Amino acid sequence: MASHQSSSLALLVLTLTALLISPAESLTCTSQTFTNNARYTNCVDLTQLTAYLHWTHDQSNSSLSIAFIAPPAKSDGWVAWAINPTETGMKGSQTLLAFQSNGAMTVKTYNISAIGPIAESKLSFEVWDLSAEQSDGVMRIFAKLKVPGNGMTVNQVWQVGASVTSGVPDAHPMQTANLNSKSTLNLSGGQTVTPSGGDSRTKKKNIHGVLNVVSWGILFPIGVIIARYLRTFESADPAWFYLHVFCQVSAYAIGVAGWGTGLKLGSESQGVKFSVHRNIGIALFCLATVQIFALFLRPKKDHKYRFYWNIYHHSIGYGIIVLGIVNIFRGYDILQPANKWKSAYIILIIVLGAIALLLEAITWIVVVRRKSSKSTKPYDGFNNGEGRQ
């Protein structure tokens, strides 16, 4: 029922949005028009950042007329489109970047020779008729340029940023959409091809996310629920213990695999850092490793140190759950998958929480009744001393 209502609400929002947005922000480039009445032979809906490219390629003189459209990350931010003659990413891209300066739109050119602060510079090919405009929440860049390379395909990169400081564009976000905003453009047919390396990297990120959700976000909490509540029932002993160990050891093994893929992704991401997500991941690995060793250091129930061991074991266990869930949501913010995956995990956490609350109530009732039964149980002749002669 809730899912049906959510779907109906989403459909209503999309419908209202489609009715209210202007042609420049429409869902496909084919319905977009320009105030300068410019017309282009081809257009394409770019794969990331809700961006669009219109162009006309004149093969006779290797010139390209383009109109690039995208919403900036914030209203006072910037948008950029670039051709990279040598690579498929940002480094080496010859960039046209637009932002608002002193109340008017301006376009500047940047040769991105390295990852880091940028400075205005000439491009490696000729560019002219630069202009830009802003309305209806989007910015548009218009330009003509000489096409480098073989003249039939180009590596294009596009980007959006949130702010400009003293005429210098500030760094753009490092979300998945920003990192994947690149493709190879076929000038004759209008098709874009995402580089295979981008697909491979996205697959690695998805694997990293799935492993960590299953580990820290599902198996580990289930293992804690089993240990906390099933042990109350005498009939579940010792099965609860083996189930608990199975869940936690499995969670640790899967979590280590997820942690390893995260380290690999980090080593392959020059200039891209998600420090908080990374540090929490390292903390989780360390705490979980200590927790696994607790299996080999567990004192017997009647040992004088068992009380302190329980405090240490339980504290680390609950800490892992909290850190794991927090880091999973940080991962969702970085990876930005379809909303259904984040919603599904939220529902799962709510269900596990509801099960824990129900079991909490049931086990309290069992414990109270058990204590009450023991305190009211009549003494027999032996236990009350009458059996002694």
CA–CA distance, 53 with 264 (Å, rounded to integer): 34
Question: 181 and 124 share a domain?
Answer: yes
CA–CA distance, 211 with 389 (Å, rounded to integer): 68
Q: Is residue 378 part of a domain?
A: no
Question: 73 and 110 share a domain?
Answer: yes
**Domain closes at, from 148, 165, 194:** 194
Q: What is the pLDDT of residue 37?
A: 78
Q: CATH no. for residue 207?
A: 1.20.120.1770
Using CA atoms, how far residue 278 sits from 150, 283, 321, in Å, is 42, 9, 16
Question: 62 and 25 share a domain?
Answer: yes
Question: 169 and 219 share a domain?
Answer: no
Question: 187 and 254 share a domain?
Answer: no
Q: Is residue 3 part of a domain?
A: no
User: What's the pTM?
Assistant: 0.52
Name which of 52, 47, 50, 48 is nearest 31 in CA terms: 52
Question: 93 and 216 share a domain?
Answer: no
pLDDT in tens, 79-99: 999 999 888 888 889 999 999
DSSP state string for 135-165:
ETTEEEEEEEEEPPTTSSEEEEEEEEES-EE
Q: What is the pLDDT of residue 151?
A: 63
Q: What is the pLDDT of residue 20?
A: 36
Q: Is residue 5 part of a domain?
A: no
Retrieve residue 250's tokens: 């499995």
Q: What is the pLDDT of residue 197?
A: 47
Question: 167 and 58 share a domain?
Answer: yes
Helix H or strand E encompassing 280? helix 275-293
Q: What is the pLDDT of residue 212?
A: 92
Q: What is the pLDDT of residue 310?
A: 86
Phi, psi dihedrals of residue 231, rounded to the nearest 5°: -65, -20
Q: Is residue 383 part of a domain?
A: no
DSSP state, 194? -
Question: 133 and 167 share a domain?
Answer: yes
Q: Is residue 33 part of a domain?
A: yes
CA–CA distance, 101 with 106 (Å, rounded to integer): 7
Q: Is residue 129 part of a domain?
A: yes
Phi, psi dihedrals of residue 271, rounded to the nearest 5°: 80, 0
Which parts of the chain register pLDDT below 70? 1-27, 149-151, 189-201, 268-273, 336, 375-389
Question: 102 and 228 share a domain?
Answer: no
Q: What is the pLDDT of residue 15?
A: 39
Please name the residue ranges forming H helices in 194-238.
196-212, 220-229
pLDDT in tens, 126-165: 999 999 999 888 999 999 999 876 667 889 999 999 999 9
Question: 226 and 176 share a domain?
Answer: no
Q: What is the pLDDT of residue 378?
A: 57
Q: Is residue 57 part of a domain?
A: yes
CA–CA distance, 81 with 154 (Å, rounded to integer): 12
Other CB atoms within 10 A of residue 288 CB: 24
Question: 348 and 221 share a domain?
Answer: yes
Question: 242 and 309 share a domain?
Answer: yes
**Domain closes at, from 194, 221, 244:** 194
Domain count, the chain: 2
Q: What is the pLDDT of residue 86?
A: 85
**Domain closes at, from 194, 218, 239:** 194
Retrieve residue 165's tokens: 């400081």
Q: Is residue 291 part of a domain?
A: yes
Q: CATH no. for residue 184?
A: 2.60.40
Q: Which range of residues forms the domain containing residue 31?
A: 17-194
